[in-house]
Structure 1
Amino acid sequence: MNRIHLLLLLLPFGILFSCTDNKTEHNLMTGERKFIEGLGILDQKEQIQLFENNDGFDDVTKSGNFITDKRIAAYWIKDGNREIYSAFFTNEIDSIAQTDNHTALTYASYLTVYKTDGSSFNVYVDADSTRTYEFFNKALSNWEALRKNK
């Protein structure tokens, strides 16, 4: 097999693996941010501090979990079904619990956000232990800091 044939054989794999960077707060594009704003769970002036996408193809139009300087939010959109959740740290969160599954192969870690109105929602973080703990710690530190200032 000559080099050109080998290159043509390996090229699709290279493209596939180059497209698998996880979508985070660092590589969220302007159009993707606008999409999230359109869901009503992100204001133009809010700063996304942490963002995780649990869709296998990093499609933010299907799912996202994030923390901003004001709130924690999660959304999941599939086949016309929409689940959109948000809670402001200042006055809408009663408590936050964590479930750490970072060592499990088939389950993502998540935060359960218990709201003052009695409802709750999960914020999923399908990442390594460092990123998982970063998400947990940011949610707790924002909540503790902002609820004291209300």
Structure 2
Amino acid sequence: MINKPTILLIAVAFIACNKIKSGNELQDKETAYIRSLGLLQDQEQIIKFYSNYKFKNAGNFFTNKRIAKYWIDKKDSSKNEIIFAYYDDILSIDSTTNVPSSNCPYLLVTRKDKSQFKVFVNGKKPVVNAFFTEAIRKWEESIKLTRL
């Protein structure tokens, strides 16, 4: 019989193994699931994706049109969160990479209406930084295009 601390250790190790994926690495059924949550439109492509738990429970990603996250609590739907911001609606994006080891680095997305949400990404620091840099660059490119 496995005791609770061992199960917790196994779970943490499993979660820590989640990796950042490019949109091309997602399976069709994964993309369909994200679409079913209302977080993906036709002609919208996921650029990078990270799940800080199980795929069907948690996802953090950016596309060619938005930054988004979801948390689906299978036991208590009142805790579900499906949050996104189109690039045009974003006022600022700040990255926080220096966090305690028990936390995940994140992007703090501030919308023009001043509401905020966090997009969590974990992994090796250079890979996390690359995710953050690419997401911010995509947003900045979108802003430049809308000003033309």
CA distance in 1, matches of 2:137, 2:18: 27
How far did residue 21 of structure 1 move?
5.5
The structure-2 alpha-carbon separation of the partners of 1:136 and 1:52, relative to structure 1 and needing over 3 Å to count, comes to same
Aligned residues: 128
Select the residue among 14, 19, 26 that pairs with 1:22: 19
1:149 is paired with a residue whose SS is helix
Match of 1:127 in 2: 123
Do the aligned partners of 1:101 and 1:107 also contact (CA within 8 Å) in 2? no
Match of 1:87 in 2: 85
1:20-59 matches, cutoff 5 A = 22=19, 24-25=21-22, 26-55=24-53, 59=54
**Which one has a larger percent helix, Structure 1 or Structure 2?**
2
Alignment gaps of 5+ in structure 2? 1-12
> Residue deviations 1:4-38, cap 9 Å, x none?
xxxxxxxxxxxx98xx5636235321111111111
RMSD: 1.9
Select the residue among 84, 94, 97 that pairs with 1:97: 94
CA distance in 2, matches of 1:73, 1:134: 17
Do the aligned partners of 1:74 and 1:85 also contact (CA within 8 Å) in 2? yes
TM-score of the superposed pair, with normalisation by structure 1? 0.78
> Residue deviations 1:62-98, cap 9 Å, x none?
0000011111111111132211111111x10000111
**Matched residues, percent identical?**
36
Match of 1:63 in 2: 58
How far did residue 101 of structure 1 move?
3.2
